Structure formats: structure tokens, C-alpha cells
Amino acid sequence: MLFRNSVYLIFATATLFGQSRNLEIYWTDVEGGGSTLIVSPSGQALLVDTGFPGNEDRDARRIEETIKSAGLTKLDILEITHYHGDHVGGAAALAKLVPVGKFYDHGDSIEAATPQGAQLYDSWKALAGNKRVTVKPGDTLPIRGIDITIVSAGGEVISKPLPGAGSPNEYCKDAQIKPEDKTENSQSVGWVLTYGKFKFLDLGDLTWDREMTLACPVNKIGTVTLFQATHHGFSNGASGAPAFVWAVKPQVVVVNNGARKGFSAAAYETIAKVPGLEDIWQLHRAVASDAAHNAAERLTANLDEGTADPGKGIKVSVAKDGKFTVVNLRNNFSKTYSSR
């Protein structure tokens, strides 16, 4: 009997620890910078962007707390979308707090000729060292249990539509065309994460002109479940081409904005017109906009700014069947959706 009970205990323990977790996505409040943590069902972790430098390593420490809250002790991949201070600035401080396996990026900075651009890029190269990996459109990230396909990097986008995409885009007719952007924003690494029916799109700060190459004349992305609004909520028209946003038809949008950065009233109206949109969630209330151009307070992680800002985030948990729950970590309000 003792032997049989021991065998049962070993089997039960192995079954328990062999079970996979839900896919989890966390947005840390880095005050208008970028930081998105992906934890796969296999337990592997990908962090995209590290917020600002300085402020007594505020952003790195907030990200460390998010990583700990996810039950992690290390990052398998740290990916930087592009070399601007609000995305790569906290990387060096974070790497002193959390071990990092590999460092992914889009290649050389196109702003390295400027003093600030050179400092940010040189710091990143020194940090990444021989663990650095450069990606290009069409590559996939080696995270078990999910598929992450790169759709933009180094100023280029995928040449062919993703599987199931490629339909003519009705919104391209009479769409506004903007000049080529020649900043690091246009170089952003962007990808589509697929987990069963659930699809999550994150393009970093990819610019309007590159969005249009993904959207027209055919939609190379297809439709998605969850969309992280590009460029902190379109940054006053630098991103957020309606022909692109409306074509990908997200069910839910998360806006990683600051109290006074990104997500203008015009950006809100673009997202609100997405066919079939269910909800908009925000990291910050956009204080320059009225209530009609902000998400409901229960869907907004931070209502104040400055010293009154509690620095709260947003979490998404995705089950195998495609159901996903979004949680406001300020008030623990949550809502569950079914991936279409």
C-alpha cells in the first residue's frame, strides 16, 4: 500500500507540474514608454522594451516587480523594438536586476549619427554583446507553445501575407498617404502572436507609412484578437493609419499611453470606429481629452499623473480555448472575452 501511494504521489506531482499555464501578457506602467511582458504556456518569458532610463531606475524596478508577480526569475528574450529612450532606456538597469538569455533587435540604429542616438545604441550593443540576435520580417521567435512571427523590422515588412490573410482592403481607397518616416520609429520590430484562435498584434512605434505597406492594397496581417495600439496610441498622427487599424479589426485594444503622451481624441475616434470592437483599455487616462475620448474609468489603470500616479498595469490571461480575461491591476476589475 505504501508503494502504491508513493507511485500515485509521484504521478500526481508530475501531472501537476507538467500542466501548462495560460498565456499571459502584462503591461507595466513606464509613464508613456514601452514595456510588454509575454509569458508563454511553457513558462518562457519575452519582454518587449524597457521604458525610460533614470528616475532612480523607476521603470526597470517596476518591470522587475511585474516579472516577479508573474512567478518568473529570468527573461528568456529581451526584445527592443527600436532605439529610442522610452523603449531601450531601462535595459541596462533591468539586466542588473533580472538575468536575460538573449537580446533581440532590428539591426543597426539609423540615428547613430546623433549624440543621443549613438549613446542609446552603443549602450545596447555593449549590453547585448555576443547574446545579440537581429531579426527580419518573416522570422519567428523561439518561444515554445506560441507562434510569434515578425512582420516588421529594420524598415521592412513581410513581403507575403500571413496564412489566412491577403484579402483586398476596402479601406485603401482614398486612404491618406504620408511621407516616408526616417526616424528609429519606422524601424520598429513588430509581430503577430498566435495561440490557437487568439492573435495579438504589437508593432512598437511603427509609423503610418509602414502601416500602409502592411495594409494596402491587400491586408497582409488579417484580423487579430488583441491590438496594442501602435506608438502609445498613435502619437498625434505619426501612426494609426485608419486603412490599417480598421482592416485588422481587433476585438480589444490596449493603449500603452502616458497621461500626456499619445492617444489623442482623434486617435480614440479611429479606434472606436473599428468594426466589431468590443472594448478599449488604457494604461493612463489621457488628461488632455474629455471623458468621451477616454476609456471608462474601470478599464483605465491610472487616472492621475505625477506623484499621484500609482503606476498600475494591465494583465491579460488567455486560455487554450481562446477565452481571454483582461484585468485592470488598479481596481482588479476584469472582463472575459471569446476569441472570434
Question: With a cut of 70, which residues of the chain have pLDDT below it?
Answer: 1-19
Structural domain includes residue 331:
yes
Closest among 12, 11, 72 to 38, alpha carbons compared: 72
Cβ(28)–Cβ(37) below 8 Å? yes
Structural domain includes residue 134:
yes
CATH number reported for the structural domain that contains residue 177 in this entry? 3.60.15.10
pLDDT at 157: 98
pLDDT in tens, 172-197: 999 999 999 999 999 999 999 999 99
Structural domain includes residue 150:
yes
pLDDT at 52: 98
DSSP readout, 2-41?
HHHHHHHHHHHHHHHHHSPPPEEEEE---TTS--EEEE-T
pLDDT at 306: 86
Domains contained in the chain, number: 1
pLDDT at 307: 81
Cβ(92)–Cβ(63) below 8 Å? no
pLDDT at 11: 38
Q: 319 lies in which domain range?
A: 22-338
Q: pTM above the 0.85 mark?
A: yes
pLDDT at 236: 87
pLDDT at 79: 98
Structural domain includes residue 1:
no
Structural domain includes residue 205:
yes
Any alpha helices (H) in 89-161, and if so which ranges?
A: 91-97, 115-128
Q: Which value, to the nearest 10 degrees, does the dihedral of the CA atoms of residues 286, 325, 26, 246 take? A: -50
Structural domain includes residue 74:
yes
CB atoms within 10 A of CB 10: 10
Structural domain includes residue 12:
no
Closest among 201, 208, 289, 275 to 241, alpha carbons compared: 208
DSSP readout, 211-275?
HHHHHSSB-SS---SEEE-HHHHHGGGTS--HHHHHHH--SEEEE--BTTBS--HHHHHHHHTST
Structural domain includes residue 9:
no
C-alpha cell at 249: 479589426
